[in-house]
Amino acid sequence: MNQSTMDTLVGKEWGLFIDGQLVPSSNEELTPVYSPANSKLIAEVAVASPGDVNTAVQSAKQAFKSWSALPAQEREKIMRQASAYVRTQADRIGALMALEQGKPFAQSRSEVTSSCDLLDYYAAEAVRVEGYVNPTEKSNLYSWVTYQPIGVCGLITPWNYPVSLLSWKLGPALATGCTVVVKPTEVTPLSPWAFCQALTEGGIPAGVINVMTGGAQVGAVLIEHPDVAKIAMTGSTETGKKILQAAARQLKKVSLELGGHCPAIVCTDADLDLAAEVIAYKGFRNMGQSCSSVNRVYAHLSIHDELLGKICAKARKLSIGDGVTEPNCDLGPMTTAATLEKVELHVADALAKGAILHEGGKKPEGEKYQNGYYYTPTVLSKVNPSMLMMQEETFGPVVPLDTFDTLEEAIQKANDSAYGLCAYLFTRDFATTMKVSQALESGTVCVNNGAVNTPYAPYEGWKDSGFGSELSRKAVFEYLKTKHVKVAS
C-alpha cells in the first residue's frame, strides 16, 4: 500500500461514535496514532471528555429500551445481517489494523472475519437464554427463574488483538439485549472503531454500540458513570486491579481477562516436531504479544537439546516485514516502543544472569527495519526463576527453555507464577495427561495443541490472570441478571 492509498484509507477525521454518528470531541483534544513499522503519524483521534462519555452512555441507555425489548429471534437476525456486512468491509478494517498494530495484513483481515464468526456464534445464543421452573413446597405456589440483560456495558479493550478481544465482549452483550460503550485502547483505536461503525452500518440500531476513544482517563470516567451497569475489560493485571477497585465503589459487575505467563511442559514421550511447532507458533505469533503466548518451556532433560534445535529451526524460518506492504509475512513489528524496550530488558537481564542465546536477541538487520519496532524471534536456554522473563510477562517473541527431571518438578515450576491463564502440555501418555492437566493452576490447559481460544469453551483466568468468563455459552451470563419469581395463586 503506498502513502496516498494509506491516506485515503485512514482519512483525517477520527471523532467519537455516538448514536450511529461520527461526532467531534467537545474538548478538541486529539491523540496521535503512529505506525509501528516506521514511526510515522497515521491519524489523530479524538479524546472523549467526561461530557462526551455521558452523551454516549445516555445514547446507549436510550437504545437499551428498544434493543432489549426486541424478540431474541429478531436480535439474532440483525446480528447475523450486521456481521455479514462487516465481512464485506474486512479488507478496510484489516488494513487499518495492519497499519496501527503491525500485524501482517493477512492475519489482521483474518482477525476481522473470525470476529464476525464469533458474533454469529453469539447471535445463535440470543435465542437460547432459557430460564427454568422449580418444584415448590406448596401446591398453590409457582416459582420460575428468568434472566434479563444487565443494561449499558462499558467494554475496555487492549491493542494486541484489537478487534477479536472486542468481539468476545460485543457478542454476548448484544445477543442478550445489552447496549455498549466501547473504550478501545489509545494505541490501536482505528480498527475497533471501524468494526463498530461497520456493525452499525450493517444494521445494529444506532446507539446500541458507541465508541469513546482516549486513554486511561476516559476508561475511568466510563467506570464511574452511574448508568453503566457492567465493565468487561481485557488488559494488564495492573490495570485490571485498578478497574476492579473503581468499579467496587458502585458494586458494578466486572469481568477481567488479564495477563498471562504461560508454561509449556514437554515430556520425554512427546511428539517433538509437534511440540516445537506449537511452541514456536504460540511464542512468536503476533510478535509474542498475546496473553496466551508460551512464555516458559520446561523440557524433560532427555529431550531438551533435540527440542531446542527444532524450535530454533522454526524461529529461523519466520519472515519479518512491514505487514502493510508485505501482507503475507509471518511477523510484523512489535506494536509499541515500550513493548520492544521490555523485551530488550528481559533478554539482557537473562543473559546477564547466565542464560544462553541460541537465536535472535536483536533487531533484524537492514534499512527497512531501521525506524520500526522490530525484533527477531529469540530462543534462550539455561534460564532460571531469578530472571525477569521467568516471572513477568515479556509480551514479546522470546521462548526461554528450562529443564525438569520428574513430573512433580515440572508441575511445581509451571505453577510457580502469579498468573494462571493457560498452560500447554506435550505427552502421548494418558495418565500423564490426566495427572498434569488436573494439577496445573490454570484456566485453560492445551494438551498436544495450541488452539487455546475456541467459541465453545470458556476462557477464564485464575490467580492474577483475572476472573469471569469470555467465550462459550458461559460468557452470556456475564451480561445477564437473574430473577426469581414466586407466585401464590
Catalytic site residue 116? no
Catalytic residue among 291, 312, 422, 446: 291
- Under rule CB under 6 A, residue 239 binds ligand NAD: yes
Q: Please spell the DSSP secondary structure of 79-139, one letter per residue.
A: HHHHHHHHHHTHHHHHHHHHHHH---HHHHHHHHHHHHHHHHHHHHHHTT---EEE--SST
Q: Give the residue at shortest CB distance from ligand NAD.
A: 219
Joined grid coordinates for residue 152: 449499558
CB 439 within 8 A of CB 459: no
The distance from CA 401 to its chain's CA centroid, rounded to whole angstroms, is 25
CB 447 within 8 A of CB 296: no
- Under rule CB under 6 A, residue 18 binds ligand NAD: no
| Binding test (CB under 6 A) with ligand NAD, winner from 81, 110, 236, 433 | 236
CB 414 within 8 A of CB 420: no
Q: Would you say 259 or 397 has its CB closer to ligand NAD? A: 259
Closest C-alpha among 309, 283, 299, 285 to residue 399 = 283
> Which residues, 69 to 88, sit near ligand NAD by CB under 6 A?
none
CB 417 within 8 A of CB 461: no
Q: Would you say 83 or 157 has its CB closer to ligand NAD? A: 157
- Under rule CB under 6 A, residue 442 binds ligand NAD: no
CA dihedral 429, 431, 433, 435 (to 10 degrees): -150
- Under rule CB under 6 A, residue 461 binds ligand NAD: yes
For 273, list phi and psi in degrees, rounded to 5: -65, -45
Catalytic site residue 291? yes
Tell me, residue by residue from 177 to 216, as one string, x for binding to ligand NAD by CB under 6 A and - for no binding: ------x-xx----------------------------xx
Catalytic residue among 257, 392, 470, 478: 257
Q: First vs last Cα of the chain: how many Å apart?
A: 70
- Under rule CB under 6 A, residue 260 binds ligand NAD: yes
Q: Would you say 42 or 307 has its CB closer to ligand NAD? A: 42
Report the nearest approach of ligand NAD to the CB of residue 380 (Å).
20
| Binding test (CB under 6 A) with ligand NAD, winner from 165, 208, 212, 279 | 165
Residues of this chain that interact with ligand NAD (CB under 6 A) are 156-160, 165, 183, 185-186, 215-216, 219-220, 223, 234-236, 239, 242-243, 257-260, 291, 393, 395, 421, 461, 465-466
Query: Which residues are known catalytic residues?
Result: 257, 291
